[in-house]
A and B are shown apart, each in its own frame.
Chain A
Amino acid sequence: MTAASTPMVGLLYNPAVPLVLDALGARVDYVEVIPDRLWYDYGPQAGRNRFSHAALAIDELRRHCADRAVIGHGIGLSLPSAMPLDEAVLDQVAASHRDLGYEWYSEHLSMFLAPHRSVPNAQAGMGLPVPFDEEVLEIVSGKVRRLSDALGGARILMENGTIFSEVPEPDMSEPEFFNRLAAESGAGMLLDLHNLYANCLNLGVSAQDYLAALDPAIVVEIHLAGGDRLKGHYTDSHSRRTPSPVWEWAHEWAPRFPNLAAITFEYHESYHRRLGLAGIAEEVELMADLAARVGEARREAAA
């Protein structure tokens, strides 16, 4: 990544994405892989037989990665949870990295696993809000360093989440948490603008205040997506194309992030038909336009 380069554009990989890649070819610079979807996890009680890999899916993925960059995007480690990392899952993530060669690896700043449920490391079932406190900052920083070590020094990014209820009385704001996390652990930020959009609609967060409070240098990747309204709330369901306010923020802010290296569209395979190949192709073109604008601005600034 050089200061005057153009960010890559890519798609979050899902079982329907190979159809898009076959159609769009080199228009898609990279795929973003969720390694947790490459294996079945039978839990710690299964011992040596805990993980069984989805071999055919991995083969198909390798075929599409041959001439593309790959980014790792995990959902299984739940860094903010007040419990140790699951070392067996970490080993699998590291093995997938040695095979696929992630440019960098991201996780979520949300809680996916809850400690001390009836079964250890109970799955919470969804991403839950995190207190933006010194204590959590220390936990996440330590795990970011551990994760990076396990991945041979790979860069780690943390993604902002979408939540329906805020944790009150935080030690710091969410942007401040990301800035401090970057300073203390080296973690960059995966800025999900659609998650921010959902939080604006559901919680009244000001996107402009949020984005202005971030250290622009920490943003390495942007996520774009679309969602649905559900009984008075807006959900990050990855079910539609990116809404126009999100595109406006992306155009306004992306050129201000000097280390932005990738722009990703996320959708869930169950909505592939609703989005349509043409719709996804248009998203890719719009991302390429945005990336070109960022590259142009960088070259002008460097000249």
Chain B
Amino acid sequence: MSLDHFQRGLADLIASPELVRLVRIEPRALDYLYDLTPKEARRLAAIAASPGMEANCMLYRANRLAPVALNLPDLCDALGEQLNPLISAYWAAEPTTDVHFLVEADRFCRYLLARPDALPVAAWPALQREHGQVLSKLAASRHWAGREIFKDRGGGSPAYA
């Protein structure tokens, strides 16, 4: 089955403007990366070349930035122009978004903490303070972990038929 490769290729394209540029110049690059039928390869190449690709890539970045911007606003301010290259490097290293905003914010903090040389000195206080806040919110969000709080009230016999 190659539909899974097509879907993975599509997800990779929206996550990587570099890959989009490569495929626009050399569509055969897709054959080295994925196991596609000729039709799927044509489809991915056409999507990469489509004018909507800029919007796809832009929204992907906005969606991935949201948990960081929301939970680490002072760190983002302190990083200033360094935010873009650092977060791009983080996304390239860890291409999977976590659906849990706090986990995603924690992952970015850990990524930065593992690369102290790449971090401007002025950003350290914000990183430490906001990472601490994220960790305590994370702990609070785990409060009900493993416990079932939905009750069986007989929902399951729908009124609509």
Contacts and interface: CB of A to CB of B under 8 A. Distances in A.
Interface in A111-149: 111, 114-119, 122-126, 128-129, 131, 135-136, 139
B95 A122 contact: yes
Interface in A31-83: 36, 40-43, 46, 48-55, 58, 69, 76, 81-83
A163 B52 contact: yes
A69 B97 contact: no
Given A99-B153, A164-B56, A165-B53, A51 B4 contact: no
A102 B158 contact: yes
Centre residue among A50, A83, A165 by max chain B CB count within 10 A? A165
How many chain B residues sit at the interface, stated as a range, is 35 or more
Interface string B56-95: 1011100110000000000000000000000000000011
B155 A101 contact: yes
Contacts of A55: 143-144, 149
A83 B4 contact: yes
Contacts of A289: none
Contacts of A116: 4-5, 8
A82 B7 contact: yes
B127 to A, nearest CB: 23
Given A99-B153, A233-B55, A117 B146 contact: no
Contacts of B1: 82
A239 interface: no
Contacts of A114: 7-8, 10-12
Nearest to A51: B145
A261 B97 contact: no
Given A103-B159, A230-B58, A52 B141 contact: yes
B97 A41 contact: no
B115 interface: no
B46 interface: yes
A55 to B, nearest CB: 5
Contacts of B117: none
Interface string B133-161: 00000000111111111111111111111
Contacts of B50: 164-166
A128 B55 CA distance: 12
A167 interface: yes
A82 B95 CA distance: 19
Interface stretch (B24-32, B98-106, B118-126): B98-106
A163 B141 CA distance: 33
A49 B10 contact: no
A155 interface: yes
How many chain A residues sit at the interface, stated as a range, is 35 or more
B96 A119 contact: yes
Contacts of B146: 48-52
B4 A118 contact: no
Given A98-B155, A151-B156, A125 B53 contact: no
Given A95-B150, A98-B154, A43 B98 contact: yes
Contacts of A41: 99-100
A1 B52 CA distance: 40
Contacts of A9: none
B113 interface: no
B63 A40 contact: no
A33 to B, nearest CB: 12
B49 to A, nearest CB: 9
Interface of B: 1, 3-8, 10-12, 14-15, 39, 42-43, 46-47, 50, 52-56, 58-60, 63-64, 94-100, 102-103, 141-161
17 contacts: A40-B100, A42-B145, A53-B144, A94-B156, A114-B7, A116-B5, A118-B94, A119-B96, A122-B95, A124-B97, A128-B7, A129-B10, A139-B3, A167-B43, A168-B42, A168-B46, A202-B52
Given A94-B156, A111-B7, A115-B8, 13 more contacts: A42-B145, A49-B142, A52-B146, A53-B147, A53-B149, A69-B159, A82-B7, A98-B156, A99-B152, A101-B153, A122-B97, A151-B156, A167-B47
The 7 closest A-B pairs by CB, nearest first: A101-B155, A164-B52, A152-B156, A114-B11, A165-B52, A52-B145, A99-B150
